[in-house]
């Protein structure tokens, strides 16, 4: 297995969906509390990335096994079949990555708080049952919520709490600004999953995957896709008004024309090869600019 195949197997190009929320959590910690725990951040980052890779490998592994014979997905589309990868090797990779990530997470919880343990258990459960089990979350109309909330919201919550736990109580007063702060990122991440499921609608039906798009239809899914883009920008503005984030994040509206143009182009013709990369571009652009503007705001 060369690096190119491994990168596709772990979906390396999509890792920004977890890395950027992690970075935003660090920025929030410094902005509101002027405190960072670099050792905790390093442990959490390594555990998070390894588990994220395990989840993506597991997703490919389960899709390979569940693929029906009514089309050529197993042999031509899924990377395990297409590249003729060793199934036992893939299984061992999944087990090894989950084990290493779990041990790091347990050690991090041991040196910090039981709250981190429960948040970690929740994240692990969502990640594993997203693809595994008799009714994986990815085959149900909750995949967008599960991915958006876990990566866009839970990751920053863990990150922030690991940095500032000595200064705060884990209660509603601590959580509600973070929930509002992370809503734009959660919407952007959920939108990527929604776009993916819209493009894969027919293929998913052939594989007995009944996602949200299956229930609401392609037309309504595209309306929702546009709505989540607008919500992400409006809630960012609300966060500025409530002083949850620096005023510099108002400049996020400068990229709205580009993101809306991508959104319109994708909505006219949702296609995995031609227009889905625009949805990936929207996520990367929105979260990276959000992070840059937050960083700039720390110094102004």
Q: Express each pLDDT in 264-288 by its tens digit.
A: 999 998 988 889 999 989 998 999 9
pLDDT tens column, 160-182: 999 999 899 999 999 999 999 99
Q: Which one is predicted more confidently, 73 or 85?
A: 85
Read off the pLDDT of each residue in 205-234 and give the average, rounded to a whole number.
90
What's the rounded Cα separation, in Å, for the pair 68 and 63? 10
Torsion angle of alpha carbons 287, 9, 155, 104, nearest 10°? -140
Torsion angle of alpha carbons 16, 22, 24, 30, nearest 10°? -150
Q: Which one is predicted more confidently, 270 or 11?
A: 270
Helix, strand or coil for residue 270?
Answer: coil
pLDDT at 74: 67
Reported as a pLDDT band with limits 50, 70 and 90, residue 115 is very high
pLDDT at 133: 77
Average pLDDT over the chain reads 89
What is the separation of C-alpha 15 from the centre of its chain, rounded to a whole number of angstroms? 8
- Residue 70: pLDDT above 60? no
- Residue 17: pLDDT above 80? no
What's the rounded Cα separation, in Å, for the pair 89 and 92? 5
Q: Do 162 and 112 contact (CB within 8 A), yes or no? A: yes
pLDDT at 22: 93
pLDDT tens column, 188-213: 999 998 998 898 888 778 777 788 88
Q: Which one is predicted more confidently, 245 or 214?
A: 245
Read off the pLDDT of each residue in 87-115 and give the average, rounded to a whole number.
93
Q: Do 150 and 171 contact (CB within 8 A), yes or no? A: no
- Residue 243: pLDDT above 80? yes
What's the rounded Cα separation, in Å, for the pair 72 and 81? 10
Q: Which one is predicted more confidently, 299 or 247?
A: 247
- Residue 107: pLDDT above 70? yes
Q: Which one is predicted more confidently, 253 or 271?
A: 253
Alpha helices in the chain (DSSP H): 3-9, 16-33, 38-66, 79-82, 87-111, 114-129, 143-149, 155-164, 172-199, 201-206, 212-241, 256-268, 276-297
- Residue 68: pLDDT above 70? no
What's the rounded Cα separation, in Å, for the pair 205 and 202? 5
Percent of the chain with pLDDT over 70: 96
């Amino acid at each position: 297995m060369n690096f190119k195949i491994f990168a596709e197997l772990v979906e390396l190009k999509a890792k920004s969906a977890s890395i950027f929320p992690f970075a935003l959590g660090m920025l929030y910690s410094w902005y509101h509390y002027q405190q960072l725990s670099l050792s905790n951040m390093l442990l959490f980052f390594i555990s998070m990335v390894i588990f994220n890779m395990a989840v993506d490998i597991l997703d490919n592994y389960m899709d390979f096994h569940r693929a029906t014979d009514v089309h050529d997905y197993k042999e031509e589309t899924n990377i395990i079949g297409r590249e003729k990868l060793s199934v036992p090797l893939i299984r061992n990779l999944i087990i090894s990555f989950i084990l290493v990530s779990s041990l790091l997470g347990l050690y991090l919880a041991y040196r910090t708080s039981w709250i981190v343990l429960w948040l970690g258990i929740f994240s692990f459960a969502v990640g594993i049952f997203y693809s595994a089990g008799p009714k994986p979350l990815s085959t149900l109309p909750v995949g967008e919520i599960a991915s958006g909330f876990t990566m866009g919201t839970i990751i920053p919550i863990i990150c922030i709490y690991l940095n500032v736990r000595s200064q705060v109580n884990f209660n509603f007063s601590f959580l509600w600004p973070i929930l509002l702060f992370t809503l734009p990122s959660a919407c952007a991440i959920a939108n990527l999953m929604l776009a993916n499921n819209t493009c894969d609608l027919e293929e998913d039906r052939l594989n007995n995957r009944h996602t949200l798009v299956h229930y609401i239809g392609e037309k309504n899914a595209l309306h929702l896709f546009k709505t989540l883009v607008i919500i992400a920008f409006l809630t960012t503005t609300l966060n500025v008004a409530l002083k949850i984030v620096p005023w510099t994040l108002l400049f996020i509206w400068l990229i709205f024309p580009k993101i809306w143009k991508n959104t319109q182009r994708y909505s006219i013709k949702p296609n995995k090869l031609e227009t889905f990369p625009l949805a990936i571009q929207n996520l990367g652009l929105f979260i990276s600019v959000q992070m840059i503007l937050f960083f700039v705001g720390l110094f102004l």
